[in-house]
Structure 1
Amino acid sequence: MRSHRVSSPNGARDDVYYWLRDDTRSDPDVLSYLKAENQYTEAMLAPVQPLIDRLYTEIVARLKQDDSTVPVRYHGYWYAIRFATGQEYPIVVRWLDAPGAEEVILLDGNALASGQPFFQLGGYEISPDNRLLAYTEDTVGRRQYRLRVKDLTTGTLLPDVIENVGAGVAWAEDNRTLLYVEQDPVTLLGRRIRRHRLGDRGEHVLVYEEPDESFDLTVERSKSERYLLIASESTTSSEWRYARVDDPSFEFKVVVPREEDHEYQLDHLDEQFLIRTNWQALNFRIVEVPVEQAADRKQWRDVIAHDPEVFIQDFELFRTFVAVSERSQGLMNVRVQRWGEAPFHLTADDPAYTMALGSNPELDTTRLRYVYTSLTTPGTTYEYDLADGSRTVLKREPVLGDFDSANYVSEFVWAPARDGERIPVSIVYRKGTPLNGSAPLYQYGYGSYGLSMEPAFSTSRLSLLDRGFVYAMAHIRGGQELGRRWYDAGRLEQKWNTFNDFVDVTDYLVTRGYCARDKVFAAGGSAGGLLMGVIANVAPDRYAALVAHVPFVDIVTTMLDTSIPLTTLEYDEWGNPNEAAAYAYMLSYSPYDNIRHQHYPAMLVTTGLWDSQVQYYEPAKWVAKLRRHNTSSQPLLMHVNLEAGHGGKSGRYEHMREVAREYGFVIALAEGASIGEAS
């Protein structure tokens, strides 16, 4: 322990584990400490390593190794992503939409990843003439991408290489100019939009620079492909700019000037912008307006009116209709509406499910692709044809082995919260699992940023269900499952609702006999890891074990430090601790600051050395402090991935090893097996 004062306008705090912060990731003492944590975890899990190995084998055995996505047509070609047997990374392919056309490999992730400890493909865009491919790659894990360009006629890489860019890029109509996002090297937020003409060796021309450090930038082409679009977005505010794709001056105009608490997104069709907006619409509406009059809200005309019971999530434009992802009663649906006609909804078959718009890059089609999944139904890509009302299954994600969805039961229930609210909960278990208070429970939650947790299928989760676990997803406040009010009721000075909701769901499930009181296991990652940290402090007796992935647990110190990536972007989510009231409120739940001498449940904590979103030292400090105050003998384990960031290991199969470790930890405890100090 080494004394270190963390100062703020509202007081100072002593942080004796601050020395674990090393922004260079090269301090020998810090690296030695983290490696020792890994060695300790490995030794503690040694008694259950055979179980972990079995879990990995059975999880991987359910995967179709030579799988591929449903082909998507774009500009006269079919595009798909496939995996080769035994290989970790995706292969991007295409073929001409013509009889007998041969497949061409555009990007082989396995070749690109060769020799790299980490690899992730950020995104890729085809030039308008189909001859060039721009793509971004991350070989560290910090989501700092490198931009490369491939000539598809020769198969060679162009010499143009741009470092530290965002994942997305956009082509201008000349097939030689790229717009990309330059990231701030410290905060990693999109700071500037630059343009680069292939072959130019001079400084890349600045197109737009974002002056507000609480905003992030992205760039894209409209679906109509007539406009380049720049989006500046914070947690609760948006501002978009547009320029014609064939405008050599790249003169961007503002669509609607930014203002506090106005969020909007847009796309283009014919001479109109269609705008998803929360102006005078808490749950959003969709309006149309002539391009040149977009800022004049008197010209806005509703396409989809506001509904206080329905949250509009997203939309997709077509020449003759619009498709909308919308959420009602906690579940995601798809609404379809021909221009000028009444809308209708696509049908669902399960109590807990989700529908999402699929890949639909072309405007001139009557066919809509969407994906349907539930806790018992693998992801299924459908194509709905508005011309004749037919629905075709294009693909259902394969699950190898003896899987039969009829062997599993899903439920969608409402748990009472302590303040009178009702919390939606998605539940799944195998038929025959006793609901008499004897089964183990795995409860998952997130509850931040307005991100809704979808009741989707998971092949790996079957390893829990087949061993008698009940799985529950708590749709707590802070997400947007019940619309924007659900999000607002779980952020800033309402954040305690998120944590209380999760505990109240646990109590409900125990009381209703879904699980044994002493076999409740909970998990969450990132902001869900913050959730795990809070309930560890305030309700440790409710849980047999907690799993916290890349947990955001030192919230006050992090949000005081504007040099840490994403800090300023998130003041609207957590509050600005430089303000007295926000400081006090955030301090009231900060997991790191509220550790006390008490019995803590067993814990498995994971982090990545190169994580750009939750820095590795937050969970490292948290675990160290927990060890000093924990009065129980339950195992407290931390695994540090020394070659990855926020998403864990790269690669299709390597990730499954992390899942197997987590499930092995939980299953062993549920069965009373020995884990180090738990023996």
Structure 2
Amino acid sequence: MRAHRVASPNGVRDDVYYWLRDDTRSDPEVLGYLQAENEYTDAMLAPVQPLIDELYNEIVARLKQDDATVPVRYRGYWYSIRYATGQEYPIVVRRADAAHGGQAYVDRIETEDDILLDGNALASGLPFFQLGGYEVSPDNRLLAYTEDTVGRRQYRLRVKDLVTGTLLPDVIENVDGGIAWADDNRTLLYVEKDPVTLLGRRVRRHELGSVGEDPIVYEEPDESFDLSVERSKSERYLLIASESTTSSEWRYARTDDASFDFKVVVPREEDHEYQLDHLDDRFLIRTNWGALNFRIVEAPIAHAADRSRWRDVVSHDPEVFIQDFEIFRSFIAVSERSHGLMNIRVQRWGEAPFHLTADDPTYTMALGSNPELDTTRLRYIYTSLTTPGTTYEYDLTNGSRVLLKRDPVLGEFDPANYVSEFIWAPARDGERIPVSIVYRKGTPLNGTAPLYQYGYGSYGLSMEPAFSTSRLSLLDRGFVYAMAHIRGGQEMGRRWYDAGRLEHKWNTFNDFVDVTDHLVARGYCARDKVFAAGGSAGGLLMGVIANVAPDRYAALVAHVPFVDIVTTMLDTSIPLTTLEYDEWGNPNEAAAYAYMLSYSPYDNIRRQPYPAMLVTTGLWDSQVQYYEPAKWVAKLRQHDTGGRPLLLHVNLEAGHGGKSGRYEHMREVAREYGFIIALARGMRIGAAS
């Protein structure tokens, strides 16, 4: 411990573990400390390692190793992602339409496909690798792609000649993952990141073969906004999006305009969010102007800012939240959420809408990959807690639904062996919280089963009740799994998000605890065998409930937890801070400072028995800096009076998403599950149990 004071306009706080912050990630003392934490965690988990190995082998055995995604047609080619046996990374392939026989899916690995990108070759010799985005030039001859070899989401842009198979000499560092081609097949738009905040700061254009600094197309003046670029689905326009948590502004220019003369669609204003795409002579705009849960309007391109010219395509409904949309020449498909669950609405232009059907009490539907305008077939994904991810194609001409692929689960998996439920838990203020539940048939619901409860509740991100092959290892060992759809997400519409952010953030934490109490009271689980998990902002959730309700939980798992919220939000040099004032508040303001301080996990640690904990972080994390969880665990140990294991694992070669690679990630899952199962069984964990 070392004395350090964190100053602010509203007070000074002591932080004796501040010394663990090393922005260079090279200080031998700090790295040694983190390595010692890993060694301690390994030693404590040594008695459980056989169980962890068993779980890993079990989880991997369910995966089809030589798998492939459903091919998607785009500009005369069928594109797919393939996985090879024993290899960690995806392989991007394509085949010309004629060679594929016009079939949308062939249930075997295609050896004659052209390999565009082999992630395994690109990752060779690297401790971390992640493919960002990739875009084929309009003439189908060049492939631009972005890659991250550190884990900090600062991508490198490369270009590959698909005719010769060679890489062009063009290399651009520190870019966003997204890119867009102009029609000349020689010019790329990309987003340059601010090296400190890691937010998109400038859109530049790069002409292949050029040297020197690329010209700036647009520079974002507001540090609370982030940038992205894309091509419209119609291929007619290049689009630049400037977006903050609660505001948006889009720009457009023709894809064949060599001057790159971008015009604003609708000027930004406070609390107006919108997204758009283009069809024929109009923009289709998803907007919350005059519509809390959003609506979709059409507007003439040249007069899109004139709201008197807007015409509803999908009107506002206070009970239905419009999440996303996909346009086609003859119809529109809309992802919409009602009563906590995601559905898909389909509507021919000028006709009445209808909804696609679901087969489970709790489920999610999502629009699939649909890059072509001129089709009457809609790809969508259906999944539930008992149904593996399933790709369907719905044909509007005859109403038929074709199953293209269901993600394989090897072994003895039978969905009939599992039961899912969708229930409502009462919150202390009278709200009703949706909860998705799954368990294996025969699991006793008499107050004896262990529970794994998951939550997030921030940024308006809704937690989808989707299938997980790894989760079967918990269910088959008698666990009940519950996903709490707490406020801060948008499961119940925009009001659900607004009721769980800024000065309403305590609702998020109270909801989660209230769901736990309801599940215990209803007999879904044993009072002394409740385990909870969350990551990032969900790790903040874990940190708060550890302080305010430690007696409710046998153990908590906090992945990359955002636990030192006040210090981080006071420091604009930390990546993403300025973008998030609309989510958490600006602690330079007295009221926001006091409110954030009231729940900040790091600041509210007290002398009391804490649940057992497994905490993870990545040294190169760009979202939540590694030193937040490291400081938190150190301070927890200082104040804990219960003596249960408090473990920290630092991935020294990864960022926010953990280890890269298909199988390496499963090792992290196996460690988490091993930790929880061991405690549920009363097994020994290190010397602390």
TM-score bucket of the superposed structures, by smaller chain: over 0.9
Letter aligned with residue 636 of structure 1: L
Q: Does 1:308 align with 2:318?
A: yes
Tell me, in whole angstroms, the C-alpha distance in 1 between the residues paired with 2:425 and 2:687: 35
Contact 1:634/1:677, CA 8 A, preserved across alignment: no
Tell me, in whole angstroms, the C-alpha distance in 2 between the residues paired with 1:651 and 1:321: 38
Q: What residue ranges of structure 2 are gaps of 5+ in the alignment?
A: 102-111
**C-alpha deviation, 1:421, in angstroms:** 0.1
Letter aligned with residue 18 of structure 1: Y
SS class of match (2:39): helix
Tell me, in whole angstroms, the C-alpha distance in 1 between the residues paired with 2:435 and 2:244: 29
Q: Does 1:433 align with 2:411?
A: no
Q: Does 1:195 align with 2:218?
A: no
Tell me, in whole angstroms, the C-alpha distance in 2 between the residues paired with 1:604 and 1:240: 42
Q: Tell me which residue corresponds to 1:509.
A: 519
Q: Tell me which residue corresponds to 1:122.
A: 132
Q: Tell me which residue corresponds to 1:446.
A: 456
Q: Tell me which residue corresponds to 2:483.
A: 473
Q: Tell me which residue corresponds to 2:83.
A: 83
SS class of match (1:163): strand
Q: Tell me which residue corresponds to 2:601.
A: 591
Q: Tell me which residue corresponds to 1:620.
A: 630
Correspondence 1:245-644 to 2 at 5 A:
245-644=255-654
Percent of paired sites with the same residue: 88
**Cα offsets for 1:505-560 (capped at 9, x unmatched):** 00000000000000000000000000000000000000000000000000000000
Tell me, in whole angstroms, the C-alpha distance in 2 between the residues paired with 1:314 and 1:595: 40
Tell me, in whole angstroms, the C-alpha distance in 1 between the residues paired with 2:6 and 2:525: 43
Tell me, in whole angstroms, the C-alpha distance in 1 between the residues paired with 2:43 and 2:505: 37
Q: Tell me which residue corresponds to 1:68.
A: 68
Q: Tell me which residue corresponds to 2:97.
A: 97
SS class of match (2:308): helix
**Cα offsets for 1:421-460 (capped at 9, x unmatched):** 0000000000000000000000000000000000000000
Q: Tell me which residue corresponds to 2:16.
A: 16
Tell me, in whole angstroms, the C-alpha distance in 1 between the residues paired with 2:643 and 2:416: 41
Tell me, in whole angstroms, the C-alpha distance in 2 between the residues paired with 1:80 and 1:145: 22
Tell me, in whole angstroms, the C-alpha distance in 2 between the residues paired with 1:409 and 1:239: 45
Tell me, in whole angstroms, the C-alpha distance in 1 between the residues paired with 2:87 and 2:218: 40
Tell me, in whole angstroms, the C-alpha distance in 1 between the residues paired with 2:634 and 2:372: 53
Letter aligned with residue 427 of structure 1: I
Letter aligned with residue 431 of structure 1: K
SS class of match (1:7): strand
Tell me, in whole angstroms, the C-alpha distance in 2 between the residues paired with 1:668 and 1:606: 18
Q: Tell me which residue corresponds to 2:108.
A: none
Tell me, in whole angstroms, the C-alpha distance in 2 between the residues paired with 1:317 and 1:155: 34
Q: Tell me which residue corresponds to 1:31.
A: 31
**C-alpha deviation, 1:100, in angstroms:** 6.3
Q: Does 1:182 align with 2:221?
A: no
Letter aligned with residue 168 of structure 2: L
Q: Does 1:671 align with 2:685?
A: no
**C-alpha deviation, 1:471, in angstroms:** 0.1
Tell me, in whole angstroms, the C-alpha distance in 2 between the residues paired with 1:312 and 1:176: 37
SS class of match (2:342): strand
Q: Tell me which residue corresponds to 1:45.
A: 45
Contact 2:78/2:100, CA 8 A, preserved across alignment: no
**Cα offsets for 1:282-316 (capped at 9, x unmatched):** 00000001100100000000000000000000000
Contact 2:158/2:171, CA 8 A, preserved across alignment: yes
RMSD of equivalent CA atoms: 0.6
Correspondence 1:118-197 to 2 at 5 A:
118-197=128-207
Contact 2:645/2:688, CA 8 A, preserved across alignment: yes
Distance 1:195 1:452, change over 3 A: same
SS class of match (2:11): coil
Q: Tell me which residue corresponds to 1:219.
A: 229
Letter aligned with residue 97 of structure 2: D
**C-alpha deviation, 1:676, in angstroms:** 1.5
Letter aligned with residue 113 of structure 1: A
Distance 1:100 1:504, change over 3 A: closer
Contact 1:146/1:161, CA 8 A, preserved across alignment: yes
**C-alpha deviation, 1:32, in angstroms:** 0.3
**C-alpha deviation, 1:633, in angstroms:** 1.2
**C-alpha deviation, 1:99, in angstroms:** 3.5
Tell me, in whole angstroms, the C-alpha distance in 2 between the residues paired with 1:11 and 1:509: 40
Q: Tell me which residue corresponds to 2:107.
A: none
Tell me, in whole angstroms, the C-alpha distance in 2 between the residues paired with 1:197 and 1:609: 35
Tell me, in whole angstroms, the C-alpha distance in 2 between the residues paired with 1:480 and 1:135: 32
Contact 1:633/1:677, CA 8 A, preserved across alignment: no
**Cα offsets for 1:468-487 (capped at 9, x unmatched):** 00000000000000000000
Tell me, in whole angstroms, the C-alpha distance in 2 between the residues paired with 1:470 and 1:55: 17
Letter aligned with residue 624 of structure 1: A
**C-alpha deviation, 1:678, in angstroms:** 4.1
Q: Normalization by structure 2: what TM-score?
A: 0.98
Q: What residue ranges of structure 1 are gaps of 5+ in the alignment?
A: none
Tell me, in whole angstroms, the C-alpha distance in 1 between the residues paired with 2:185 and 2:398: 38
SS class of match (1:93): strand
Contact 1:145/1:165, CA 8 A, preserved across alignment: yes
**Cα offsets for 1:193-228 (capped at 9, x unmatched):** 000000011320100000000000000000000000
SS class of match (1:12): strand
SS class of match (1:105): strand
**C-alpha deviation, 1:129, in angstroms:** 0.2
Tell me, in whole angstroms, the C-alpha distance in 2 between the residues paired with 1:127 and 1:549: 38
Tell me, in whole angstroms, the C-alpha distance in 1 between the residues paired with 2:367 and 2:483: 22
Letter aligned with residue 248 of structure 2: S
Letter aligned with residue 460 of structure 2: G
**Cα offsets for 1:166-217 (capped at 9, x unmatched):** 0000000000000000000001000000000000113201000000000000
SS class of match (1:534): helix
SS class of match (1:130): coil
Tell me, in whole angstroms, the C-alpha distance in 2 between the residues paired with 1:630 and 1:99: 65
Letter aligned with residue 243 of structure 1: A
Tell me, in whole angstroms, the C-alpha distance in 2 between the residues paired with 1:634 and 1:202: 57
